Amino acid sequence: MAELLLINLLIYFLMNGAQIFETLVFVPRWATGNLQNLSILNSEIKSANLKYFWIVFHSVHEIVFLSSVVFCFEIDGVGKQLVILFFIHVFIRIWTVTYFAQKIIKFQKVAENRSLEPSENIDKQIKTWVILNYLRVSLYIGISILMVPLTIIALKAK
């Protein structure tokens, strides 16, 4: 089932592209702390609600990734390294849900309550979120790059 690992890798690269696009296009705009730009996060105002995109994309990817671990575990030189990458991936996903998603929800509430101007505290939180997001996206890219040789080994082992 090396093809499943290839599908996993391709989905990972698609997600990397979407994360890079979001990080380079959306994040710099709303992260200025300006209330008008912060309102991009308000799903009632913006034209594209990324929440549903990410929920569906991540759900499909989690199923494919876990399946590739299960079906490729027995391939020499692949299984153990793939499990390590999976656990790193899960750790980052938990960090995403517990930190990044929670902060975005908080920032959305500021955007929804138009009578509130973002405070210095919110500005600091946004700046921290942006810096940590660069790290998070880099880690995801690193996982997908480390998965390339495993995929090649698995495909050659067929």
pLDDT digits (tens, 9 = 90+) for 41-56: 665 555 456 677 778 8
Mean local confidence (pLDDT), 75-100: 95
Query: Structure pTM?
Result: 0.86
Q: What one-letter code names the amino acid at 17?
A: G
Tokens read off for 30 = 């709303």
pLDDT value of residue 33: 64
pLDDT for position 118: 57
Q: Where are the alpha helices (DSSP H) in the chain?
A: 2-21, 27-30, 35-38, 50-72, 79-95, 101-112, 120-157
